[in-house]
Amino acid sequence: MSTTPRQQAVAIISGACGDIGRAIALELARRGVGMGLADILPADRTEALLNEVRALEVPVRYDQVDVSDAQAVQRWVGTVEGDIGGPNLVVAAAATVTLAGAMKVTEEQWKRELDVNLTGSFLTARAGAASMLAARREGRIVFVGSWAAHSPHTNLPAYSVSKAGVRMLCKCMALELASSGILVNEVAPGYVDAGLSAVVFRENPGAREQAAARVPVGRLMSAQDVARQVAYLCLDSSPHTTGSTLLMDGGLSLGQGPNAPGGPAT
């Protein structure tokens, strides 16, 4: 629970304990946005993040939520609304990844990735949008997608398919919600030196250096780079942008997709 005065802008952020989700939370907090955070970690493992946000003098709460559970997501949004205020910003950042090709990924792994990455994004965005519509609040929804949505990755088929689904979900919701003043967009990073890419880098020695060498601009991006682009789409800098993908892949999409095992995701 928070005792800090309510802010005009309130965000709900799923996947907030991951590197990218954490960076997004702190970036929005620096801009005066109050927030309800969610992830699958128990609350006692989130105090460091909550203290960082509180130090920026905005209200914050954390709830342990499985984003693939519709009722759990609805309870989370309702709790945030009652404690901090109705959200007008929604960031769907929760994701998981399995490093296995189409012939090796298990049915359980495939289902879990689509449940979290695609269905979880849908449930988070829909619950946030429902709150806005009920109160006639305008707002923003931002999906954290990936360049893997359009570039085949032979070692990440479930992840790539789930992110392709998120991209079309973004367009469908953008069209449906535009007349209500709710803008819906996607940020699609390439190789991030954090988050799910960091998992690949840890499990595949030399993968980080190989990834950086593939990027035409010659460098990987940070979680903070992604967070700044999310903030751009969340706040008033882009009042006419909806149904769009902000591709920030350093030029990766200009060449061949990574078909060799070990190519990272975001």
Question: pLDDT per residue over 111-146, tens digit each?
Answer: 999 999 999 999 999 999 999 999 999 999 999 999
* Percent over 90 (pLDDT), the chain: 82
Taken as a whole, the chain contains a residue count of: 266
Residue 246: in which H helix or E strand, if any?
strand 245-248
Instruction: Kindly provide the residue ranges of all beta strands, DSSP E only, lying in 41-199, ordered along the sequence.
Output: 60-64, 89-92, 139-144, 182-189
| Mean local confidence (pLDDT), 85-114 | 96
The two three-digit tokens of residue 60, written as one number: 């914050």
- Residue 232 annotated in active site: no
pLDDT value for 202: 82
User: 10-254: what CATH class?
Assistant: alpha beta
Q: Catalytic residue, from 62, 159, 191, 232: name it.
A: 159
**Residue 6, pLDDT above cutoff 60:** no
- Beta partners for residue 35, in sequence order: 11, 60
CA distance 101 to 115: 18
Confirm if 128 and 141 have CB atoms less than 8 A apart. yes
